[in-house]
Structure 1
Amino acid sequence: MHRRSFLTNASVGGVAAAAGATLAAPAIAQEAPTVNWRLASAFPKSLDTIYGGAEELSKRLKEATDGKFTIQVFAGGEIVPGLDAINAAADGTVESAHAVGYYNWGKDPAFAPGADLPFTFSARAKNAYNYYGGGIDSYNQFLETVNLISYPGGNTGVQMGGWFRKEVNTLADLKGVKMRISGLAGRVVEKLGVVPQQIAGGDIYPSLEKGTIDAAEWVGPYDDNKLGFQKVAPYYYYPGFWEGGPTVSFFFNKGKFDELPESYKSLLRTCCQATDQSMLAKYDYKNPTALKELAAAGAQLRTYSEEILTAAFTAAHEVYAEISGQNEHFKRQYEAQLQFRDDWYLYNQTAEYTFDTFMMIQQRNGKLAPTQG
């Protein structure tokens, strides 16, 4: 073949290939429909880490689809009150919500296991159970009955045990204490003599200041640091045994989710999982510094006594037995967690627990501090 004819033919072929690519573009675009959703968050914008999870999901989806799949995020109270976010997704007021399932436990206790139950999992154990132990599917089996489907969308890690105006060293000290505490945990501590109170986040500080309540739990050092609780309730207890690893979830209207093409469903699950891991990492990074700042500002750290923790552990399992006798969806989810819970804490004694304990001893001996040059 002559060089000139080869180049001519090659050029023609190149043009044809380019034309084919051009013609193929509209067909590809047609496979990626434009979807615009709204999301009701249960959280205020001031809680940038937990509220920010919804914004992160929105950003990831928009970038991955070249703007074809967008989710507009609304903070708690902008469309519906924060505690109504899950219901808004279920009834179709919005297509999605970002919340903690136990906010709806009063509507149905079966909402709680997908979020957290006192004395069950740490964040790492909960993630293992969710993604490989069937936790997500187990939760969705219940949620399907209320027109929802959910995927994990964040975790705070083990939370703190609350701010108290006075020290609580024994069970007797808890009798009659009016405490702002959310979810199923309120029913547990009620068995210890605590009087649980349902109070919105913005009303906690003035309620403590006026003495309307005696104690309040919120989240952990990073979020608590913004609210100044140490000024009115200086005793900061740990651990928050009712939230060892609370899953913050994305809830989607089941009908709207089912309308999505399979590629969008897959992408949505992937972005949820990425957001889930990202939030935990952010809290793990921010909480250590925040706790030091709180201590410097007057917070007095206290650990719950073994007497209180043991009594709370017993009370929690009494509550689970009571609810399980009345609610099959709760019972099925709770009992599915038990085998892995037992295995996890047996295994963890040979893993992180032993390693972390050794490293904590070194830290207390001053051997982890950076050397000064």
Structure 2
Amino acid sequence: MKRRQLIGTGLAGAGLLASASANAQSGPTYNWKMATGWAGGPLMDIGAKAFAERMNQLSGGRFKIQTFPGGGLGNALKVPETVKNGLAECGHTWIGYDWGKDVTTALFGGYAGSFDAERMLHWLYEGGGVELQREFREGADGVISFPLFMRTAEVFVHSRKPVKTLEDLKGLKLRTAGAWLEMSKELGAAPVTTAGGDIFPMLERGAIDAVEWGTPWENVSSGFYKVARYLSYPGVHQPCAPFELVLNKGVWDKMPEADRKLVEVVAKLVTFESWARIGAEDAKAFEFYKKNGVTLIELDDEVQFATRKIGLDWADRTAKEGKSKWFAKVHESQKAFDAAWRDADDWRKVKVKRT
């Protein structure tokens, strides 16, 4: 996005935020519990807690939201269920955890055929994605849903042995989640899933060979590099990862319109703030890993091409199979958006000769 466009978008966003905040300075008070899927780290600090802090700040103190670590209020992988059942008024999760319940969630949470983070943000906020997500989640699961937090491309794996080629993936005991559980088998991997807090001990004792979790910076706090001395990139399995705010529908329905708008705008604000912060910190993280003796490995092109093809083929096949009434609708929306951006790098990016 050009600088003038960024300024225009920023001013428009600031005006909307100021309006929502001004309208929400008076009214009812809220004491909410927020269930999360995280033991800590950036997802908690600049995701869940950042949302709670912004809501308190911009409501003049009327919103007080207490965040709970994964498992504190319910199953860390089933936050929407916890929220729907009224154990928490809201929650922070990754929508892709529910891919086994409805494969459509993979399209909202990112998968091997997804856009990069910038394109995903454009589709969500300017291409109808937010509206589709809201309608889908409310109809399918009875909760209110908005994007909250955005990852850039993840690390492909932190591993106990080098992973660079297709051959290296054969039999690899990989901790992963979402639709990649199914797709990675096509590359010969042996995937399993578990909540975030269980990953390090499994990796340390060799119960798994490798893990995919977050971006380079996010994974510093997880400490994976201490027991898995190889880092493979780029995360073609997960070019982006939008996370999700879920709210109890009964609570939402009772809220004044101004407070609903404040929730929506603050979720958007935190999503863009997290994206900017992660992008800046990821650039520093590679130097951190080098200084700590981690071997950095760029995946062979054939791995990258094969992974993306698996993702795109999976999405096309799933849309045709009709497993979910929503999947084809969302997939077509994303394909149309992708087609409009197909040659975007030609007119948006300048080639630079490195010296």
TM-score using structure 2 length: 0.87
Query: Is there any run of 5+ residues in structure 2 with no aligned partner, and where?
Result: 1-22
The match for 2:107 among 108, 113, 117 is 113
Greater RCO (CA < 8 Å, at least 6 residues apart): 2
Query: 2:97 — aligned with what?
Result: 103
- CA offset at residue 159 of structure 1? 1.1
Q: 8 Å contact 1:147–1:255 — kept in the other structure?
A: no
Larger mean CA deviation between 321-330 and 240-249 belongs to: 321-330
Check if 1:343 corresponds to 2:337.
Answer: no
**Contact 2:24 2:259 survives alignment (8 Å):** no
1:39 to 34, 39, 59: 34
Secondary structure of 1:328 counterpart: coil
**Shift of residue 31, structure 1, vs aligned partner:** 6.2
Q: Pairwise mapping of residues 7-156 of structure 1 onto structure 2 (< 5 A)?
A: 32-45=27-40, 47-145=41-139, 146-156=141-151
2:263 aligned residue (262, 268, 274): 268
Alignment-derived partner of residue 200 in structure 2: 205
SS at match of 1:143: helix
Matched position secondary structure for 1:61: helix
Equivalent pairs counted in the alignment come to: 330
Within 2, Cα distance between the matches of 1:232 and 1:172?
A: 22
Judging changes above 3 Å, is the alpha-carbon distance between structure 1 residues 179 and 29 closer, same or farther for their aligned structure 2 residues? closer
1:190 aligns with 2:178: no
Look up the match of 2:4.
Answer: none
Deviations 1:280-323 (A, max 9, x none): 11112222222211111111111111211222222223322343
In angstroms, what is the RMSD of aligned CA positions?
2.1
Cα distance in 2 for partners of 1:149, 1:29 equals: 20
What is the rounded CA distance, in whole Å, between the counterparts of 1:216 and 1:168 in structure 2? 11
Matched residue, 2:329: 332
Is 1:290 paired with 2:285? yes
Q: Deviations over 1:334-356 (max 9, x none)?
A: 2210111122241123213xx3x
Q: What's the CA shift string for 1:350-371, capped at 9, x where partnerless?
A: 213xx3x51xx44xx2xxxxxx
Shift of 1:49: 5.0
Whole-Å Cα distance in 1 between the matches of residues 92 and 262 of structure 2? 17
Q: Distance in 1 between matches of 2:155 and 2:165?
A: 18
Which is further off, 237-246 or 66-75?
66-75
- 2:174 pairs with 1:172: no
CA change 1:263–1:119 in 2 (3 A) is same
Distance 1:295 1:86 in 2: 39
Residue 114 of structure 1: SS of its match in structure 2?
helix
Deviation of 1:327 after TM superposition, in Å, equals 1.5
- Percent sequence identity is 29
1:240 to 235, 250, 254: 235
- Asked if the contact 1:43–1:51 (Cα under 8 Å) also holds between the matched residues in 2, the reply is no
Q: Which residue of 2 aligns with 1:13?
A: none
Normalised TM-score (structure 1): 0.83
CA distance in 2, matches of 1:186, 1:110: 15
CA displacement, residues 156-175 of structure 1 (integer Å, 9 cap, x when unaligned): 21111111222234323212
User: What are the superposed Cα offsets for residues 77-129 of structure 1, whole Å, 9 maximum, x if unpaired?
Assistant: 22123212122112222111111100111222222222112222111111110
Report the more deviating stretch, 314-323 or 249-258: 314-323
Unaligned 5+ runs, structure 1: 1-27, 366-373
Check 1:64–1:208 CA distance in 2 against 1; reply closer, same or farther (3 A cut): closer
- For residues 25 and 242 of structure 2, the distance between their equivalents in structure 1, rounded to whole angstroms, comes to 36
Structure 1 stretch displaced more, 174-183 or 207-216: 207-216
Range moving further from structure 2, 155-164 or 124-133: 155-164
CA contact under 8 A between 2:84 and 2:142: conserved in structure 1? yes
